[in-house]
Amino acid sequence: MNIQGLLKTTLLDYPGKVACTLFCAGCNFHCPYCHNSSLISFDSVSNYTEEEVLAYLKKRQGILDGVCISGGECLLQEGLVEFIRKVKELGYLVKIDTNGYAWAKLKQLIDEGLVDYVAMDIKNCKDKYGITSGRIGSIEAIERCVELLMHSTIPYEFRTTVVKGYHTVEDMEEIGRWLQGADAYFIQNFKESEGVLTPRLEGFEKDELERFAEIVRRYIKRVEIRGL
C-alpha cells in the first residue's frame, strides 16, 4: 500500500460515522478538475507504512467508527485486500472511495464482507466520460461497477463533481436516466483550490446546482447538493 496521507479524524467523509481517511497514491484517471493531483502518480514514495496506520487505529479503537480509504484510486493498490482484512480485525467499518474502474476488486471486497460503504464517482454522462475523466476509451468497467453497486446489499452513493464547461443540464438528465433507481446521488460543486490539475476552472451558482438536482430527482429519490 502506498499511503500518502492520513486525516486522523473526520466527521464528513463517512456519513454518520466518526472516521479517519487514508489517501493512497496512484490513479488511472486524469480528471482536469482533480484537487488531489499530487496523488495521481504511482511512483511517489509512501509517507506512511501499513504498520504505522494499523498502530494508529489500535490506539483509536472505541473512538473512531470507521476508516475511509480514498486516493488516487485505492482499488488499484497492491495489498489492499490484505490490509483491509487487518483493519476489519480491529473492528472498524470500511468505506471505499472509487472511480469504479477496478470493479472486480470491489466485487471481491463486497463478496468477502470487507467493505461497509462505497462512494463511487460518476464523472459525467456516458458520452462525455472520456473528456471528463481524462481517459478515452470504453467505459464498460464503469457500467459494470454501477450495476454491481445497484444490485448489492451494502450502502452506497454515486456522486458527481460538477464543473462549468464540462457539465450541462442535458448531461444531468442523461446521468439521471443512467442511474435511475439508485439509492443516493450527490452533486458536488467544484471549488478552486491549490493543487487542482487544471487551473481557473469554475463551479456553479446555487440556482444552477438546484436545477441540476431537480432534474436528477426525476429518476433518483435521494439527491443532495454538497458544497453550496
pLDDT of residue 182: 98
User: What domain range is 175 assigned to?
Assistant: 3-226
Angle of helix 80-89 relative to helix 50-59, nearest 10 degrees, comes to 20
The span from the CA of 190 to the CA of 100, in Å, is: 20
- Split into its structural domains, the chain has a count of 1
pTM score, whole prediction? 0.95
Q: Is 153 exposed, middle or buried (0-12, 13-18, 19+ CB in 10 A)?
A: exposed
Please write the tens of the pLDDT for every residue from 99-145. 999 999 999 999 999 999 999 999 999 999 999 999 999 999 999 99
pLDDT of residue 187: 99
Please write the tens of the pLDDT for every residue from 162-193. 999 999 999 999 999 999 999 999 999 999 88
Closest residue by Cα to residue 179 from 107, 122, 116: 122
pLDDT of residue 40: 87
Confidence class of residue 94 from pLDDT cuts 50, 70 and 90?
Answer: very high
CATH number, domain containing residue 202: 3.20.20.70
Q: In the block, which residue shows the cell 484537487?
A: 35
Q: Helix-strand-coil percent breakdown of the chain, rounded to 5?
A: 35, 20, 45
Q: In the block, which residue shows the cell 454515486?
A: 158
Return mean pLDDT, the chain: 96
pLDDT of residue 193: 83
Residue length, the chain?
A: 228
